[in-house]
Structure 1
Amino acid sequence: MTKSISELLDTAGGQAVAVVRGIEDEQLGGRTPCSEYDVRALVNHLTQVIVQFQALGAKRDADFTQTPDEVGRGADWRERFEQETRRLVEVWAEPGAEEGTTGAMHFPARTVGHMVLGDLAVHAWDLARATGRDLVIDPAVLAEVTAAYEGLAPTARQAGVLGEPVEVPADAPEQDRLLGTLGRDPHWRP
Structure 2
Amino acid sequence: MPDFSHDGARRARVGRVTADARELLPAAIDRFGTRVHAVGDDRWAAPTPCASWSVADLVGHLCFEHLWAPHELAGTSMEQVGDRYEGDLLHDDPAGAWDRAAARSRPRWTAVAEHAPRVHTIFGWIPVAEYAEQMLLDLTVHEWDLARGAGLDERVDPDAVGRALAYLDADPVMLTGPGLFADPVPARSDGPQDRLLARLGRRVR
TM-score (structure 2 length as normaliser): 0.78
In 2, distance between residues paired with 1:135 and 1:84? 23
- Give 1:133's aligned residue: 152
1:9 aligns with 2:30: no
Q: Is the 8 A contact 1:97 1:109 kept in 2?
A: no
Q: Is the 8 A contact 1:157 1:163 kept in 2?
A: no
Q: Is the 8 A contact 1:6 1:92 kept in 2?
A: yes
Mapping 1:51-62, distance limit 5 Å: 51-62=67-78
Q: Is the 8 A contact 2:18 2:163 kept in 1?
A: no
Compute the displacement of 1:166 (Å).
Answer: 1.4
Q: Is the 8 A contact 1:142 1:175 kept in 2?
A: yes
In 2, distance between residues paired with 1:81 and 1:9? 15
Structure 2 residues not aligned, in runs of 5+? 1-16
1:118 aligns with 2:134: no
Q: Which amino acid aligns with 1:34?
A: C
- Give 2:11's aligned residue: none
Aligned pair partner of 2:128 in 95, 109, 127:
109
1:180 aligns with 2:191: no
- Give 2:9's aligned residue: none
Compute the displacement of 1:185 (Å).
Answer: 1.1
Paired positions, count: 184
Compute the displacement of 1:155 (Å).
Answer: 4.5
Q: Which amino acid aligns with 2:34?
A: A
What secondary structure is seen at the aligned counterpart in 2 of 1:52? helix
- Give 2:63's aligned residue: 47
RMSD of aligned C-alpha atoms? 2.4
- Give 2:6's aligned residue: none
- Give 1:29's aligned residue: 45
- Cα 1:101–1:92 change in 2 (3 A) is same
Q: Is the 8 A contact 1:6 1:90 kept in 2?
A: no
Compute the displacement of 1:80 (Å).
Answer: 3.4
% identity of equivalent residues? 25
TM-score (structure 1 length as normaliser): 0.84
Once the two structures are superposed, residues 3-50 of structure 1 have per-residue CA deviations (whole angstroms, 9 ceiling, x without a partner) of 543431122112101110011232121110112211121111111111
Q: Is the 8 A contact 1:56 1:103 kept in 2?
A: yes
